[in-house]
Amino acid sequence: MKVLIVDDSKTMRTIIKGALSKNDITDTLEAENGKEAVSLVMSEDPNLVLMDWNMPEMSGLDAVKAIRASGNKSPIIMVTTEAEKHRIVEAVQAGINDYLVKPFTPDALLEKTKKHAVA
């Protein structure tokens, strides 16, 4: 399974990558903003996208909208500090498949990842 990790924080990408590798998910790609993420989704077609919301250049929400507008159906989990109900609803309407609020435990990340895993 190929997972795209999108976060402007290198530290957060490393934490997520570490949690995934403990579950034998080592085929990962990284992007530091939404613009990069959209480009990688188009060229690499990952099986799962873990998307931060607040990033420079293009927000995670705008990236989700662009990915869905392209017709791509890869599962997207929003991994963010944005926990307000209206934000979650907005993200679901944009096309995400699930939502994980930071800070999260490695177990919570793996549970969501397994739930949406597409081999």
Residue 76 pairs with which residues in a beta bridge? Answer: 49
In this prediction the pTM is 0.95
Render each residue's pLDDT in the chain as its tens digit; 119 residues: 999 999 999 999 999 999 999 889 999 999 999 999 999 999 999 999 999 999 999 999 999 999 999 999 999 999 999 899 999 999 999 999 999 999 999 999 999 999 997 65
Domain residue ranges in the chain = 2-115
Contact criterion met (CB below 8 Å) for 67 and 95: yes
Q: Which amino acid is at 61?
A: L
Task: Choose which CATH entry (3.30.300.100, 3.50.50.60, 3.30.930.10, 3.40.50.2300) describes domain 2-115.
Answer: 3.40.50.2300
Residue 29 pairs with which residues in a beta bridge? Answer: 4
CA dist 1 → 48, 51, 55 (Å): 8, 16, 25
The rounded distance, in Å, linking the Cα atoms of 85 and 117 is 25
Token pair, residue 37, equals: 């993420």
What per-residue confidence (pLDDT) applies to 117? 77
The rounded distance, in Å, linking the Cα atoms of 86 and 92 is 10
Residue 2 pairs with which residues in a beta bridge? Answer: 27
